[in-house]
Every structure is written in structure tokens, then in C-alpha cells.
Amino acid sequence: MIRLLLALVLALAAAAPALAERLISTLSNDTIEITSSFDGERMTFYGNIAPEAGAEQRYVEGPFHVVVVVLGPTQDRVARQKSHHFGIWLNTDEVVFRRFPSYFHVLSSGRLRDITDFGTLTGNFILPEAHAMVPNEAGLMKTLTFGRELIRLMTQEGLFGVQETGVNFLSETFYSAQLILPSNAPPGPYIAQTYVFKNGAIIARKSEGFAVRKIGFERFLAQSSTQYPLLYGLACVALALFTGWLGGVIFRR
């Protein structure tokens, strides 16, 4: 018990001067609304690194690095591999990744390798690869291969990405980061994790949520297609019959 208390006191004494910074951050919009003309949306993350509230010091000393990780809603995703059989190419092998992020972008103020070490990056899920290395029933080697390919495919779709010049420092302590959310960004809850690094160690972190959601007519359509599929189907057919009939009337066929 005494040893534990001692350790705690020691830890506090060691940590207190190092944890003298805090992060004040916010983002430009907390909901992104998908309307009929939705074609992607620009988001801005900005913040300031300030002394800890109640701390003696009036300024903080850098240099700091900021990494913003934007994480979309998770889905079960499958990666499939084609191979050549009987003269044609067909899907023969697959690995399912459970709870895989549907969107993942990393913005940083410098090369991630220079900011911190590999262990910190993967331990905090800052690298896309970290999500694909989650243990899987398919076995380690296959998971690694398929995970790498899945990340490549997601990157091609613009759903995954690492922008090592994504965060700009406007002063010693004030940063801003811009992200253009593509039009195929899946709707759902998003999380933006901001990490402040100093000398390779995380000295402050903060997470903010925002939502991407369909509104208005798009929301109505998407909801009715899943909640009232029969009515939705009937409406589709009615619309089709009406359009076809109207076309015949207009053009007097």
C-alpha cells in the first residue's frame, strides 16, 4: 500500500511539469448534412495549445506536432481475392474485417515517422494499418495481406488517407487542419481525435464528434426504403407506371 502511494506520488511529481499543456480545439461544423446536391464538404479543425488551467506558467514551449485522426462509423467489410480458374477470373478467397472503419483520414503537421515512433502510432490507431491488424479468425498472414489490400482499395476510393502536410501551424501554438469529406463518405457518427506531440510523446489529446447524415428528402427516402420496404417498392412501381403513362400521353405515341 505504502509502496503504491509512493509510486503514485513519484508519478505525479514526474508528470506534473510535463503535462503543463492543454489543447483547446474545435471544428467548423458538428453536422454535415447530405442533401440532394451533396458533393462532399470541407471541414476545418483548429485549436490552440495553451498552458494547463491553473498552472503557473503563462506560455508553452514547443516545438509541437499535431495529428488529427478522423474516424467514420464502423462496418463489417470483406476483402476478396480473384484467381484464375477454368479460364475465367473469379473470387476465391476472402477475409472479413469486423467493425472496420468506413472512413479514416490522418492529418498531421509533419511526417508521422518524425513525430513519434511506430509503437505509439499503432498503439493509438493513428496508422490505417493498425485497423487491419486486429486479430482475425483468418490467421495472421492472410489478415496482413488482405488488410493491406483493403486499405489500398479504401485509399483509392478516397475513404482512407494520410496527409502529412494536413495540419498547418499559424503561430507557435495555433494550428488549423482542413479535410474535404468526399461525397461517398458514409453517413453516421464520426470522431475526430486530436493528439499533440512534443518530443515524440503525446502531451495532450482531445476527441470531438460530428455527424454525417442525410436530411430532408434524402433522409426520408433512405429511411422509408429500410423501414417500409413494401410501401417503398409499391411507390417505385407507381412512379414508374405514371412516368411511362405520362410519357405516352405527352408524346402521343
- Does 31 help bind another protein (rule: CB under 8 A)? no
Asked, as a colleague might, if the bond just before 189 is cis with ω within 30 of 0, I would say: no
Count residues near another protein (CB under 8 A).
61
CB-based contact 107:167 (threshold 8 Å) = yes
- Does 160 help bind another protein (rule: CB under 8 A)? no
CB-based contact 38:186 (threshold 8 Å) = no
User: Quick one: 149 or 208, whose CB is closer to another protein?
Assistant: 149
* Residue range at the interface with another protein (CB under 8 A); choices 15-23, 172-180, 193-201, 214-222: 214-222
Of the CA atoms within 13 Å of residue 90, those in its CB half-sphere come to 5
- Does 152 help bind another protein (rule: CB under 8 A)? yes
Query: x/- contact string, 166-185, with another protein (CB under 8 A)?
Result: -----------------xx-
Q: Which is it for strands 201-214 and 31-34: parallel, antiparallel or unpaired?
A: parallel
Q: How far is the CB of 136 from another protein (least distance, A)?
A: 14
CB-based contact 24:45 (threshold 8 Å) = no
C-alpha–C-alpha distance, residues 220 and 166, integer Å: 35
| Range 38-97, binding another protein (CB under 8 A) | 38-40, 75-84, 87-91, 94, 96
* Residue range at the interface with another protein (CB under 8 A); choices 46-54, 63-71, 200-208, 228-236: 228-236
Across 143-168, b (16+ Cβ under 10 Å) vs e yields bbbbbeebbeebeeebbbbbebebbe
Instruction: Name 70's Cβ contacts closer than 8 Å, sequence gap at least 6.
Output: 103, 104, 105, 106, 107, 179, 190, 191, 192, 193
**Of 2, 37, 54, 137, which one interacts with another protein (CB under 8 A)?**
37
Where do contacts with another protein occur on this chain (CB under 8 A)?
34-40, 75-84, 87-91, 94, 96, 102, 146, 149-150, 152-154, 183-184, 186-187, 214, 218-219, 221-222, 225-226, 229-230, 232-237, 239-241, 243-248, 251, 253
